[in-house]
Amino acid sequence: MKAVTYGPFPGGWPADFVPDFSKMIAAGFNAIRLYKMPDLQLLDAALEHGLKVFGGLEWGQNVDFISAPSVYSAARVALQNSLKQVATHPAMAGVYVGNEIPSDLVRWMGPVKVRQAIEELIALGREISPHLMFAYANYPSTEYLEPGNADFTAFNVYLEDEASFKSYLRRLHHIAGDRPLVISEFGLDSRRNGTHAQAETLAWGLQAASDLETAGMTLYAWSDRWWNAGAEVLDWDFGLLDREGDEKPALTSVGNSPLPRPLVEGRLVSVIVCTRNGIARIGKCLDALRRMVDPHFEVIVIDDGSVDGTGDFVLENFPWVRLLHLEAAGLSVARNAGAAMAGGEIFAFTDDDCEPDREWISRIRPIFTDSLYQAACGPNLPPAARSWQEAVVCAAPGAPSHVMLDDVEAEHLPGCNLVVTKSAFQAVGGFDPDFQTAGDDVDFCWRLRDAGFRLGFVPGAFVWHWRRPSLAAFLRQQRGYGKAERLLMAKHPERFAPSGETVWRGFIYGGGPVTVTADSIIYHGSMGNAGYQAISNRMLPLRALDPRFSNLFSHTALRLIQFLQPRLRAWTRNNRILLWHRESKPQIENSPEDFRLPSDHALNREEVLTHFIESSWQPASPHAGWDLEKGADKILIAIEKGDLGSATLLLRIWGNPPELQRVKTRAGLSCFSILSFSAASLE
């Protein structure tokens, strides 16, 4: 998707959309993003020009909508009414149910409550219009606010440095989990930076978004003319067109971007697929490999003692495949045998129940060009579940996953998507034959890292990996993993805790988006002012249960599997029984009181904070849920912004009851004027 934001404009939509839409098509755009829901006239014009439209739900997201249920109810009604009008139009592609809810208000309302409110809007939209895509336009100041049920992860990102932008894109791929990543806003103000700097920045931004495997990029904005908060915005110029409608250099630069991804030629890649009795699975795997866009590869199938005719099936239907029959000897032996007959300088291992994406090889190949990484992988994604049992297995813990040390370097690569140079493979002696069904990839990656080799990650180099088709098969798999871990414990005792749990330095990928929960610790920065606010105790979440199978029965089965999986694995690993561990909730201190202080004038949160600091209040911990503290007293500050500069100051004060009553009395809230507000009133 190559999109551009459009409107809202002073005076409303133009009388004729043809001039703008024609220029968009000429510049290579295929979608537009709105900040309100479209009307039929706009949709008809978009359809005529081949543009897809992402509408935006307008609602009171800049106020405390948790404490004002009518505001949120109005949002639900607005979504319902608008979808009834336009959802079936062929130009409609999706809806953003919100955009950059201010970080101070998110802290005020409670991050979990805000996330749940966003998710409820998405669920309502999907119930009415299941054919559309729904998302929330997040931004780095509330990175933790990802809704769990969005169709894609969307982030507004304004970084003027190319290296920093690329680095953050790599991080966002992990925040997104299995979901596609879309940059929902990216731009540069030409008033402050110049039109040529704007053109250059938008060009490299589009190219970076393409090269780093996002699903789409949205440039901000089409025109310098902009209407916001009841007034025309006159102090910045983000548009591709100026206020008179004339083209800036940026329109030409984005028309030439992004350039198509070139195929990196060079070293032959040997794809090695090991199978045993895989006649029902391997056909789809080899069909997927046949569709690869990269021509520089070979496919080797190792038939590890099949008795169901797998080898004959491969010979008859895939004569271009190199096939080797072995007596049943185990997965590691089979993989080593494939490597021994491989002619390539890069070995790409996958399983017979995987279907690699057609760009799998072409996307992972470039990571080996500079010799920084000697092994790499991408995600292994479960295809859409075909039954409730598959849905439960996909959402259960224990799936083969990569483990990330940071946004780029991996600690572990799963064998179903593991690519390694021939030289590194030979340097560590290949796979250990003692591991016959599982654990071989863990041991292999540990030995690679111990030998000084680095493991990389390529988010676009993914394979579809079918999970076990039944709960019984899944539990058998977990028993097998437990047996493999017993071997790993004997060989690598230093990598296991006394309890028998594997000690990973990195984070295990679970497939779900990284989002806030009730026990999350969030880094807010000093007084909640950090530009990038993230979950500090990040445990990458598991995939959610497929909505098509989301019912009481499936959720009960999932809870049972979540209970059994670690206990079965622990018992098989070291005859250990895991006892039920009940988390103790932190005790809540004395309840706070909230004050609302309206003003007809604009408020600056920094100035309010400064007033308190000048009165001996101190900044709280960057992980605290409040901004300032003095002894046992605490204060949280947020600002609701209204139209035409109006605002409301929100104060939440924790303290002893006499102090609160004194503050309330002295403030005189019924007639309080923010113009005379002073932190001295809270001394």
Q: What is the DSSP track for 37-73?
A: PPPHHHHHHHHHHT-EEEEE----TTS-TTT-HHHHH
Predicted pLDDT at 519: 85
Contacts for 201 with CB less than 8 Å, ≥ 6 apart: 160, 188, 193
Please, are residues 540 and 510 in contact by the beta-carbon 8 Å criterion? yes
What number of other Cβ atoms are within 10 A of residue 587's Cβ?
A: 5
* pLDDT one-digit tens code per residue, 618-643: 999 999 999 999 888 899 999 998 87
Q: Cα–Cα distance between 127 and 123 in angstroms, integer?
A: 6
Please, are residues 426 and 444 in contact by the beta-carbon 8 Å criterion? no
Q: Cα–Cα distance between 451 and 429 in angstroms, integer?
A: 11
DSSP E strands, 485-632: 507-508, 522-523, 534-535, 593-599, 618-619, 628-630
Predicted pLDDT at 141: 96
Predicted pLDDT at 537: 62
Provide the 3-class DSSP secondary structure of residue 340. helix
Length of the chain: 683
Contacts for 582 with CB less than 8 Å, ≥ 6 apart: none
Predicted pLDDT at 578: 61
Provide the 3-class DSSP secondary structure of residue 553. helix
Determine if the pTM surpasses 0.95.
Answer: no
Q: Cα–Cα distance between 607 and 615 in angstroms, integer?
A: 13
Predicted pLDDT at 539: 62
CA-CA-CA-CA torsion sign (272, 278, 279, 282): negative
Q: Smallest Cα–Cα separation from 53: which of 31, 30, 35, 25? A: 31
Predicted pLDDT at 130: 95
Q: Which domains does the chain have, with CATH numbers?
A: 2-255 (3.20.20.80), 269-469+502-509 (3.90.550.10), 593-682 (no CATH)
Flag residues of the chain having pLDDT under 70: 537-539, 578-590, 656-683
The one-character DSSP state at 282 is H
In which residue are the tokens 């330095």 written?
A: 505
Predicted pLDDT at 21: 98
Which tokens go with 297?
A: 């590869």
